[in-house]
Structure 1
Amino acid sequence: MGEELICRWKLSAFLFLWATIALFPRKSLAIDSIKAGESVNGSTQILVSAAQNFVLGIFNPQGSKFQYLGIWYKNIPQTVVWVANRDNPLVNSSGRLTVNGEGKITLLNETGGVLWSIPSPGKVEQPVVQLLNTGNLVLRESGSENYLWQSFDYPSDTLLPGMKLGWDSKTGMNRKLTSWKSTNDPSSGDFTYSVEMDGLPQFVVRRGPITTFRSGPWYGNGFSGSGPLRKTAIYFPKFTYNAHEAFYSYDAGNDISVRLVLNAAGLFQQFYWVDDGKYWYTLYTLPGDRCDVYGFCGDFGVCTFSLTAECDCMAGFEPKSPDDWEKFRWSDGCVRRDNRTCGNGEGFKRISNVKLPDSSGYLVNVNTSIDDCEATCLDNCSCLAYGLMELPTGGYGCVTWFHKLRDVKFVLQNGQDLYVRVAASELDSTNKKLTVAISVSVASFLGLLVLVICFILGRRRKVRGGNMISPEITLGEIHSQEKEVEMPIYDFRTIEIATNSFSFWNKIGEGGFGPVYKGKLSCGQEIAVKRLAEGSGQGKSEFRNEVLLISQLQHRNLVKLLGFCIHQQETLLVYEYMQNKSLDYFLFDDKRRASLKWQKRLDIIIGIARGLLYLHRDSRLRIIHRDLKVSNILLDNEMNPKISDFGMARIFEEDQTMTKTKRVVGTYGYMSPEYALDGCFSLKSDVFSFGVIVLEIVSGKKNRGFFHEDHQLNLLGHAWKLWNEGNGLELMDAALGDEFQGSEALRCIQVGLLCVQQSSDERPTMWSVLSMLESEDMLLSQPKQPGFYMERMFSKTDKLPAETSTSNEVTVTLLHGR
């Protein structure tokens, strides 16, 4: 009787185990690799990467009767990132993935027919097929890490971190994305996204043979205008371009899922997985607006996007079909007004801040040995325009365009100068300029310049303080005492000679105002010249502030404005030249940062504090800078800091504590919470920015884009965490070694944390800040939680900033701190 019960129990246990296996067939093979002679059965088996983040198996798209071998995320609702047999599907799930003794990987259907296989890898000893944690399916020899074949070389519609998009000249491989046919059909669609190498490298989306989108060309430091090389806090792109290969790739932050997809509609999109909300957030889409549509304005047209897309003709050109242009039909483009452009005294007109024209092979010529690009273009009557590019080997090359200039648009970032060939009659014209769709009309801007001339013409005319302020601040809100302003006016020819005719080799920077050039006057004095770009979105209030405000400020820690020049369409500001450029040039470079010893960093911090205290309390005006950051701290030949760029500055009344604006200007990572979110700014807004700078100086790290493997805090949050744990000195820059005083370093860190506290009321004044920095005996309070201390904490309705660099104008909805 007992033996019968035991037999029944064993039978029941066996049946239960069998039933359990039957319920979960796809878990029967939860390994990441197979060897020669082994296979994966599509109906019951899968491969899972070791970190449990990717799956290889057979899937059936919703609404489709076909099945495919693919790779998808394991813990994210089915998001397929790679498809093997996209154009030769299974009719059921009985397919089988096999690998033979020679390493040949094959997908077979239920009758043994081959649906997909890899190219013959040659002789392979002990082949292994493995699904890696990156989502890459690889073939290798047992014990070797060399891949004989990998799925990353044959992308579908998705680019994952670590994948390459582009060319390998050794193998002849061209890795490109091909869209799905539709949302539920992974077969090859109509669109491709690739790096095109015929001419200058540029990203191109095509629908069959027709170009639908083009990034600007590679110019040595990046892609001109729009393109997928915009670094963010979670996305780190790179472009490799040399004699052997040209490819784009990217990395993502730790434990962050990022993917780039060419969808069935031909849109190239970047997505970021928001884990707490369980959805994919769209970081950006290309084309992003109508100006991104290839050739939207036709040949020799330039597109400007504000609320809508608008077209203008380049300098020297006019609409080919004026009637169509009046009806906003721009595709016919533009034609020359005067065709006498060969040996008739012709020259060039500069268009600034543009995405350079289509640079495919028959349109451009690249010469790496020409010094005088302008003369080279003039010597060839077929040359339409020229530009300059930085070479990977150092130095600059000359790029010349022929046949047509197409697909040009004004851009806010990564814009370049294009020099367009025009007839002599166009060079003499002062009223035939390219109209730019900016918030202020050309007429009103020129009127402003006339007004400024009347104010400053060197006649010691008195102006009221209100004339230095943006229209959003009334006369009753500013200092009422009359001021006297004297400012030298430079002759344009003098500046032209000093800058070698604004030579590209004299160009030392670029800002929202326009390019900055180094110059040398006949007396030997070195100068820096800001040149207002034709396409600049800044100009009206910024120019007025820069001239009329800074002319009344004199302090050893503020950059000195020497004078200005207005000549026809040219607007120039002349500054003292800062030999050592800006603080970020040293601070965020691995090699140059080592030259910033601790005492020099401390001197820079105190110098900035003194300059800011002068603005807030000791000058004749009470000024809020509003865009304080390390790139606006210039360094003279003795590395003394000087605060620069007062285009966004505002004046406060003596009894005024805070005001509000609808136009938030500044830079992500430096803006205080109350300013970024609500548009409220005060002296404490500058204090917050100063605190960020202090923590960046002591650590050698940027606040925005800072990552730590143990948490998701930015630099502010990381510093606060270390401080609360009693490990404040761990924040110090490793380049300093032990060559600093611990007490001084801790005091700087504590002051920085006090300045970036969430509540503006709890932040110290700059007078208190300077006292705390200069007095070892002064007792300091304990800092509270910083504002914006989380690098990524987003809800489903948040807008994630796409840039970590300057945003000269943003809306108050872009930042959300937690």
Structure 2
Amino acid sequence: MDSAKYLFYLVKDHNHKHKLLVLLSSLILLLLTSFCSCSSDTISTVKPLRDGELLISKSKMFSLGFFAKGKSTSRYVGIWYYNLSIQTVVWVANRDTPINDTSGILSINPNGNLVLNNNLSTIPIWSTDVSLQQSQINSTDVIAQLSDIGNFVLMLNRTKTVIWDSFDYPTDTWLPYQRLGFDRKTNQSWFLQSWKTEDDPGKGAFTLKFSTVGKTQLFMYKHNLPWWRGEPWNGALLSGVPNAKRNRDTFNISFVQDDNNVALTYNMVDKSVVTRMVVQQSGFFQILMWDNKKSQWNQFYSQPTNQCDNYGTCGSNSNCDPMNFADFKCACLPGFEPKSPGDWYESGDGSGGCVRKNGSSVCGNGEGFIKIVSLKVPDTSMANAKGGLSLEECEKECFRNCSCTAYAVDNVSNGGSGCLAWHGDLMDIQKVSDQGQDLFLRVDKVELANYYRKSNGVPHKKRLAAILVASIVAVIVLVLSCVYCKWKKKTKDKMVRQLNQDSFGEKNGVQSNTHPNLPFFSFKTIMTATRNCGHENKLGQGGFGSVYKGCLANGQEIAVKRLSKNSGQGKEEFKTEVTLLVKLQHRNLVRLLGCCFEKEERMLVYEYLPNKSLDFFIFDQNQRSLLDWGKRFEIICGIARGVLYLHQDSRLKIIHRDLKASNVLLDAAMNPKISDFGMARIFGEDEIQARTKRVVGTYGYMSPEYAMEGRYSTKSDVFSFGVLLLEIIAGQRNTHCETGRDSPNLIGHVWTLWTEGRALDTVDPALNQSYPSAIVLRCIQIGLLCVQENAINRPSMLDVVFMLCNETPLLPPLKPAFLFNGNHELQEPSTSGSSINELTETTISAR
């Protein structure tokens, strides 16, 4: 009221009109400042968040603030979608400690932690409770920011070092790019837990998490008891998440597992689709997608869907069939009988399960294994997984151990490998129509004989008729098979002859006799797998043609390189790549699965690598922050080992000639694999270097003697590796020319900084100075040694690998070669006899 009176007197006083203008301007500025603070995406020590204010992510996708649900007066801090008509909360901070009024304040305290207080209370209602080193504590440098993917991140503003983030503490919702799993080393677990009720976000009864016992599986628990179980990762699918065959075009799934870590993440193929996965308080795990037209959430997926999906519905050693509507859904496994016959037959209650039939013996008494097809395999908590075994070896392993109840293939990809063996009771088996696996069950000799008798036994007269018919059919099939095999062999021989005709291997004295061992795919198979090489399956394009993603009938994902019919250059690359890759096997080289060679069509089939190529990460402003120094160093060492294998450890001596970031692909675990061998050349055992008038490769990666004189050797690849190493450290292309920098390229810039004693200034800022300085300096020095102008001075790849893996003293590098400043590829022309270099602009696509 006093302010109003003061304003009134100012209006009356004509001598103080200018004061009125100043006051009004101040009020307008204050209002604008208040408005801006409410629409920021950041909290700082001087700018807390009060009840009634919002943080809004830059893309206006998510907001963070105080909320209450339904008729409840309890207030919570949470994150929800900002631009949807229905408030959908995806994360809650104080889910079990609500505020009872609107006095809540979310701020950053002097220790650098987010704290939630009300009524100016000194004891926080909720806190991030992160311990920082004394040297890190600078409250003015700590901020909390809401990202465009819905992650609330507490970090040091100057270095962008993450202190805490909400993605590590999910509530009931799993967002794209968020992970589920665990880390045994840090004792960290990422799991979902339902709300208590629709209006109460407190911790509810249902939890979705990965088990840490036995072979890892996805479980939903109700009050810590199993409620629903997804199958373990079988090399192709993880049941219970959207990686089933029907969902491959909707979701990108990444599953990483080792002795200490399990991490499952997903994102949408169509980034415009708003999706969330949630554990409902009713006990359902659901995938929901937003319908813009109807302004509502539509259910895409839900588990459990039937009574058999509930864990242990039929108890142990039994099979639950959800489609058996006529009879009881539970059936004991062969060789077993109900543990409680009264409950089983009279009450229709199968939860007691089954036990071995009385008097049966399954140890050293003529026992064996029978196959039960299309099952959700039993609970693997008590199972042992062993890799590298065939199905026959797995059977022998299980047979030797009388406690081994059953076995199955551990990894179904690539034809199946590894052994998964169960000991003791088999729990939670279900018959499924899709994605089922075969289970091999141990039974006694009586049950084994019954099994074979049921499989083969028919009445005598019918048996004779069946034998007669079967014999006739067998003869017809045999004749047709012989005709087919002869035709197939003739076709394949024709393919091999065409493939070997003028092939590179013969020109160098190396016969391509391994082509007949390479699997050939039919054109129809490739078209089916890639959906007729549809645009939606296209991964990239180059001078040879296009690359498509595909999925074979067995669920294996593949990448198909289809040669353009008008590409003479591609035809030569095709021959060279087949010639080399059928002879090369290394964990850091891309694996060739087969080829298609019908009429005018030429295609190469590779393993599919989901994380695209290295350039997609290190040259992208946003993606490169995903690669910390530890991962970059692993990639550097992996590339080095791959090149060393080409130069020295394989059966051939290979010069790649086009080693660059876009030709290094990354698998699901971000392991590097060198690709594109179309420009490679084979050297004889005693051959040191060769010369060509037709220079191929990429400017910025070519060594000076190769680019200027056409001379290439293993040291040419060493130069390219050195360039690539420096690019990985700097997060920049060699051809990148920065404003105000004297050097024409990255090599020159690094050399300048090295001579000035400031080499660490070249390190990628996205690493936030979170790296071991001594190791990074050593890598920079190794990179400079590799790009020295004189090839004689460069180390071999064996020396490079040794220097990367050891701490031996290094020679000082000599001045490197400063060559080109452009982003072009020099391609080998297809016209024979021509020595004119063809310069083409190339758009790099992730493959």
TM range (shorter): 0.5 to 0.7
Match of 1:94 among 103, 118, 124: 103
Which string of whole-angstrom CA distances, capped at 9 and with x for unpartnered residues, describes residues 638-666 of structure 1? 87664789xxxxxxxxxxxxxxxxxxxx9
Change beyond 3 A, Cα 1:269–1:148: same
1:488 alignment partner, one of 454, 478, 483: 478
SS in 1 for 2:202: strand
What's 1:32 paired with? 41
**8 Å Cα contact 2:194-2:206 kept in structure 1:** yes
Is structure 2 residue 199 aligned with structure 1 residue 184?
Answer: yes
Which residue in the other structure is 1:132 paired with?
Answer: 147
Provide the residue aligned with 1:334 in structure 2. Answer: 354
The 1-side partners of 2:88 and 2:465 are apart by: 60
Deviations 1:81-122 (A, max 9, x none): 000000000101210011134311100012424110012231
Give me the whole-angstrom Cα distance separating, in 1, the residues matched to 2:106 and 2:422.
51
In the TM superposition, what whole-angstrom CA distance separates every residue of 1:195-226 from its partner, at most 9, and x where no partner exists?
A: 11210000011111211001112334433x54
Residue in 2 aligned with 1:402?
423
More deviation, 313-322/33-42:
313-322
Whether the 8 Å contact between 2:95 and 2:201 is mirrored in structure 1 is: yes
| Contact preservation (8 Å) 2:360, 2:444 | yes
Give the Å deviation of 1:242: 1.2
Post-superposition Cα deviations, 1:421-458, rounded to whole Å, max 9, x if no partner, equal 11011111147869xxxxxxx999x9999988665532
Question: What is the one-letter code of the residue matched to 2:157?
Answer: S
In the alignment, is the contact (CA less than 8 A) between 2:155 and 2:163 conserved in 1?
A: yes
Match of 1:247 in 2: 263
1:211 to 209, 226, 236: 226
Q: Pick closer, same or farther for the CA change 1:134–1:487 going to 2, 3 Å.
A: same
> 2: CA distance between counterparts of 1:451 and 1:195?
54
Give me the TM-score of the superposition, normalised by structure 1. Answer: 0.55
| Aligned ranges 1:94-493 → 2 under 5 Å | 94-112=103-121, 113-123=123-133, 124=136, 125=138, 126-223=141-238, 225-230=239-244, 231-253=247-269, 254-306=271-323, 308=325, 310-326=329-345, 328-337=348-357, 338-360=359-381, 363-368=382-387, 372-390=393-411, 396-430=417-451, 455=469, 457-458=471-472, 486-488=476-478
Q: How far apart are 1:384 and its partner, in Å?
A: 1.3
Does the aligned pair in 2 maintain the 1:216–1:227 contact within 8 Å?
A: no
Alpha-carbon distance between aligned partners in 2 of 1:245 and 1:579, rounded to the nearest angstrom: 47
Distance in 2 separating the partners of 1:459 and 1:364: 43
Judged with a 3 Å threshold, the aligned counterparts in structure 2 of structure 1 residues 390 and 21 are, in CA distance, closer, same or farther, namely same
Bigger mean CA deviation after superposition, 136-145 or 261-270: 136-145
Q: CA RMSD in A?
A: 5.1
CA contact under 8 A between 1:234 and 1:256: conserved in structure 2?
no
Q: Which has the larger radius of gyration?
A: 2
Equivalent position of 1:48 in the other structure: 56
Cα–Cα, structure 1 residues 637 and 193, in superposed 2: closer, same or farther, change >3 Å?
A: same
Match of residue 439 from structure 1: none
Deviation at 1:233, TM superposition (A): 2.4
Q: Which runs of 5+ in 2 are unaligned?
A: 1-9, 504-514, 553-559, 571-597, 602-847
Which position in structure 2 is the counterpart of 1:766? none
Secondary structure in structure 2 of the residue aligned to 1:351: strand
SS of match in other structure, 2:148: coil
Mapping 1:565-576, distance limit 5 Å: none
Q: Where does residue 83 of structure 1 map in the other structure?
A: 92
- For residue 547 of structure 2, what is the aligned residue in structure 1? 700
Q: Read off the aligned partner of 1:247 and give its amino acid letter.
A: A
Match of 2:567 in 1: 739
Q: Closer, same or farther in 2 for the Cα pair 1:38/1:577, shift >3 Å?
A: farther
1:190–1:695 CA distance, 2 compared to 1 (3 A) = closer
Identify if the C-alpha distance between structure 1 residues 116 and 216 changes in structure 2 by more than 3 Å, giving closer, same or farther.
Answer: same
The aligned amino acid for 2:80 is: W
Instruction: Indicate the SS of the match to 2:201.
Output: strand
Give the 3-state SS of the residue equivalent to 1:52 in structure 2.
coil
Letter in 2 for 1:82: W
- Supply the distance in 2 between the matched residues of 1:115 and 1:702 (Cα, whole angstroms): 50
Q: Distance in 2 between matches of 1:69 and 1:99?
A: 14
Q: Distance in 1 between matches of 2:177 and 2:493?
A: 40
Q: Does structure 2 conserve the Cα–Cα contact (< 8 Å) formed by 1:102 and 1:127?
A: no
The aligned residue for residue 739 of structure 2 is none
Distance in 2 (CA, whole Å) between partners of 1:443 and 1:8 is: 111
Shift of 1:15: 8.5
Q: Check the 8 A contact 1:384/1:420 in 2, yes or no.
A: yes
Task: Name the CA distance, whole Å, in 2 between partners of 1:278 and 1:38.
Answer: 34
**1:177 offset after TM fit, Å?**
0.7
Judged with a 3 Å threshold, the aligned counterparts in structure 2 of structure 1 residues 220 and 345 are, in CA distance, closer, same or farther, namely: same
Bigger drift between 136-145 and 11-20 goes to 11-20
Structure 1 position 133, deviation (Å): 0.8
Measured in 2, the distance between the counterparts of 1:17 and 1:212 equals 61
Q: Which amino acid aligns with 1:269?
A: Q
CA offsets per residue over residues 30-66 of structure 1, 9 Å max, x none? 11112223311113x2111111111110011112120
Rate the CA distance shift 1:695–1:261 in 2: closer, same or farther, 3 A: closer
Q: Distance in 1 between matches of 2:249 and 2:310?
A: 28
TM-score, normalised by the number of residues in structure 2: 0.53
Distance 1:6 1:295, change over 3 A: farther
When the two structures are aligned, how many residues end up with a matched partner? 525
Instruction: Report SS of the residue matched to 1:93.
Output: coil
Q: What residue in structure 2 maps to residue 522 of structure 1?
A: none
- Partner amino acid, structure 1, of 2:46: G
User: Displacement of 1:10 after TM fit?
Assistant: 11
The whole-number CA distance in structure 2 between the counterparts of 1:105 and 1:580 is 71
Distance in 1, matches of 2:412 and 2:478, equals 39
Cα deviation for residue 736 of structure 1 reads 6.3
Q: Secondary structure at the match of 1:374?
A: helix
- Equivalents in 2 of 1:580, 1:139: separation in Å? 64
Q: 1:287 to 1:91 in 2, by over 3 A?
A: same
Distance 1:27-1:183 versus aligned 2 partners, 3 A rule: farther
Higher helix share: 2
Structure 1 residues 11 and 241: alpha-carbon distance in aligned structure 2, compared to 1, 3 A threshold: same
Q: Structure 1: which amino acid aligns with 2:165?
A: Q
**Secondary structure of 1:375 counterpart:** helix
In the alignment, is the contact (CA less than 8 A) between 1:458 and 1:488 conserved in 2? Answer: no
- Whether the aligned pair in 2 keeps the contact of 1:41 and 1:95 (CA below 8 Å) is yes
SS of structure 2 residue aligned to 1:273: strand
Q: Which runs of 5+ in 1 are unaligned?
A: 435-441, 461-484, 490-549, 561-575, 582-594, 601-634, 646-665, 671-688, 706-731, 743-769, 774-818
Q: Aligned in 2, Cα 1:735/1:63: closer, same or farther, shift over 3 Å?
A: farther
Residue type at the aligned position of 2:310? V
